Amino acid sequence: MGMDLVLLGPPGSGKGTQAAILSQKYRIPAISTGDVLRAQVEAGTPLGQRVKAYIDRGELVPDSLVVDLIQHRLSDPDTQQGFILDGFPRTVPQAQALDSMLAALDRPLDAVLYLQVDPQAVRERLGQRHRGDDLQGVIDHRLDVFLQQTAPLISYYQAQGKLKLIDGAQPPEAVAASIDEVIRPLAVPSFGEASFGHKPNVSQVVSDENTKENGSNA
Ligand code: AMP
């Protein structure tokens, strides 16, 4: 059973923190394109050399590059039980590419969690981090880039009925609890574990019916 989630929100909205919590809770990988790209820069790979200038300036790297990266990552076996995307997609073309990738795998997204935080709060949070692209000028630019290129995904996923609004201004544990509330109704019980309902397998449907109907309807 898969549980395929996207975390959407401005830089500094707590996507990474929540991705880590969800990853541990549901034992599915959190995939951060930002982390992967920074690791490539650190390692000085050709990809890293190509993307460094974009990251340093707070610009998005070209769509094709992150789409390829995600395409490869989603073919890894550890994503079969689900995944949490943190920082991807960030543009409408990336979201469209993700939709076609997942359509081909017959596993549509379960939900897109939008962590809502007002821009001033985000500036304050990012100002306290110590990443190379957290300098004030770059922060402001990353917020502009979010508003111009990523915010259109809010209505994109709203139109698909996938968008779930989460108040990201709360403390991390409260945000996690809000996410839980939103996710729980999507999950169907299976052997005591939370799992997701878009691709029930026969045994789960039957055992669920058995529990409810005492076997008479199965
Ligand atoms: P993040 O850690 O998600 O804030 O990403 C840091 C930087 O990596 C961004 O400012 C972009 O330069 C680059 N990046 C990460 N994810 C993407 C993406 N999906 N599309 C384009 N650029 C990205």
**Would the CB of 141 count as within 6 Å of ligand 1?**
no
Instruction: Determine which one of 38, 52, 125, 142 is catalytic.
Output: 142
Atom of ligand 1 nearest to the CA of 145: 10
Q: If 0-12 CB within 10 Å is exposed, 13-18 middle and 19+ buried, where does residue 209 land?
A: middle
Query: In a 3-state reduction of DSSP, which class is residue 86?
Result: strand
Greater confidence (108 vs 1) lies with 108
DSSP 74: T
Tell me how far the alpha carbon of residue 211 lies from the centroid of ligand 1, in angstroms: 46
Mean pLDDT of 61-78: 97
Where are any strands of DSSP class E within 35-162? 83-86, 111-116
Catalytic residue status for 90:
yes
Please name the residues in contact with 150: beta carbons below 8 A apart, sequence gap of 6 or more.
Answer: 8, 10, 90, 91
Please name the residues in contact with 114: beta carbons below 8 A apart, sequence gap of 6 or more.
Answer: 8, 9, 154, 157, 163, 164, 165, 166
User: Could you check whether the bond before residue 89 is cis, i.e. omega within 30 degrees of 0?
Assistant: yes
Closest CA to 5 of 37, 33, 28: 28
Instruction: Determine which one of 27, 129, 199, 212 is catalytic.
Output: 129
**Would the CB of 33 count as within 6 Å of ligand 1?**
yes
**Would the CB of 66 count as within 6 Å of ligand 1?**
yes
For residue range 14-59, list pLDDT tens digits in order.
999 999 999 999 999 999 999 999 999 999 999 999 999 999 999 9
Mean pLDDT of 92-117: 97
Determine contact, residues 107/2, Cβ cutoff 8 Å: yes
Confidence of residue 131 (pLDDT cuts 50, 70, 90): confident
Catalytic residue status for 57:
no
Task: Name the least confident of 149-153, 177-181, 204-208.
Answer: 204-208
Tokens for 121, please give them.
């709060």
Query: Which of 51, 60, 71 has most ligand 1 atoms within 8 Å of CB, for mutation?
Result: 60
Mean pLDDT of 105-131: 91
Determine contact, residues 194/187, Cβ cutoff 8 Å: yes
Q: Reply yes or no on whether the pLDDT at 214 is more than 60.
A: no
* pTM, rounded to two decimals: 0.86
Distance CA(85)–CA(32), nearest Å, equals 6
**Would the CB of 168 count as within 6 Å of ligand 1?**
no
Mean pLDDT of 87-109: 97
Q: Reply yes or no on whether the pLDDT at 173 is more than 80.
A: yes
**Would the CB of 109 count as within 6 Å of ligand 1?**
no
